[in-house]
Amino acid sequence: MLKNAVTLVTGGASGLGRATVERFARVGSKVVLCDLKSSQGEQVAKEIGDNVVFVPVDVTSEKDVTAAIDTAKSKFGRLDVAVNCAGIAVAAKTYNFNKNLAHRLDDFANVLMVNTVGTFNVVRLSAGLIGANEPNKDGQRGVIINTASVAAFDGQIGQAAYAASKAAVVGMTLPIARDLSTQGIRICTIAPGLFDTPMLQALPDKVRAFLAKTIPFPQRLGNPAEYAQLAESIVENPLLNGEVIRLDGALRMMP
């Protein structure tokens, strides 16, 4: 299905999103790469090839997401797949008793706004164009893939906001799959464990090595290309729908 398909990827300038753009483009998909205006998105799109176009997008903005979807239609004629990889994180305890300081409410709200509301914003708007496609023999018109996290299930100390935002992505997977089933649109969610993304690359080598040892097998950080491989498999397997798939090497996060 990906050959000659049109895909929209958020957070596409780095990490899991970039790996997805690279893999999908390599197998013949045309890609609308979405990321913040301040990102390296334009440069990344040029590096990957002519079938990738960059559109600056804040996923919480209806205007920005609509512009990206309009670009898919005007440049490539349609939209078949949307992959949500955009996300942010903040580390803060619910209450810091040493500093007598409560978790900032605006930080909590911002994480949910980007990770949960932003994801839903892309889903709800992309569904319209995907749903306009001619159905295949199964009645399928397209696929949407969201990104949660193992934190949705095993949230750590300081992860209340992040875990809540990702648990919401997990929670909306099945109802959205049911909502969109009448139009032949499948939706699945990937819940990655510890991956070698810019967020973890900023940590000291000792910390990265320690984190890798917490993963039962394979005992290493995940490669973003492995996320992209699963995303491709979801698109290609017509029976995967309404499912949340952990991609974590059997990791269960410590407190």
Q: What does the block give as tokens for 55?
A: 């559109």
The Cα 203–Cα 122 span in angstroms is 30
pLDDT tens sequence across 28-38: 999 999 999 99
Which pLDDT score is estimated for 201? 83
pLDDT tens sequence across 61-104: 999 999 999 999 999 999 999 999 999 999 999 999 999 999 99
Cα–Cα distances (Å) from 129 to 29, 87, 116, 175, in that order, read: 17, 23, 21, 20
With beta carbons less than 8 A apart as the criterion, state whether 150 and 192 touch.
yes
Helix (H) or strand (E) holding 156: none
Which pLDDT score is estimated for 255? 87
> What is the pairing mode between strands 6-10 and 81-84?
parallel
Mean pLDDT confidence for 28-53: 97
Cis geometry, peptide bond prior to residue 218 (ω within 30 degrees of 0): yes
Which pLDDT score is estimated for 87? 96
Asked if pLDDT for residue 181 goes beyond 90, the answer is yes
> What is the pairing mode between strands 30-35 and 52-56?
parallel
The Cα 146–Cα 169 span in angstroms is 7
- Selecting among 120, 162, 195, 227, the annotated active-site residue is 162
With beta carbons less than 8 A apart as the criterion, state whether 81 and 142 touch.
yes
Cβ neighbour number for residue 95 with a 10 Å cutoff: 10
CA within 13 Å, CB half, 10: 31
The Cα 142–Cα 206 span in angstroms is 43
The Cα 21–Cα 8 span in angstroms is 9
With beta carbons less than 8 A apart as the criterion, state whether 244 and 177 touch.
no
Asked if pLDDT for residue 227 goes beyond 80, the answer is yes
> Is 227 among the residues known to form the active site?
no
Which pLDDT score is estimated for 174? 99
Mean pLDDT confidence for 140-162: 97
Calculate the average pLDDT of the chain: 97
Asked if pLDDT for residue 202 goes beyond 80, the answer is no
Instruction: For residue 208, name the pLDDT band (cuts at 50, 70, 90).
Output: confident
Asked if pLDDT for residue 242 goes beyond 90, the answer is yes
CA–chain centroid gap for 218, Å, is: 23
Mean pLDDT confidence for 203-221: 91
Single pTM value for the model: 0.96
Which residues contact residue 34 at a Cβ distance below 8 angstroms, ignoring those fewer than 6 apart?
A: 8, 9, 10, 11, 12, 41, 54, 55, 56, 57, 59, 65, 68, 86
The Cα 65–Cα 126 span in angstroms is 8
Domains in the chain, start-ordered, CATH in brackets? 6-246 (3.40.50.720)
Question: At which residue do the structure tokens 């990104």 appear?
Answer: 147
Torsion from C-alpha of 133, 2, 136, 243, nearest 10 degrees: -90
> What is the pairing mode between strands 142-147 and 244-247?
unpaired
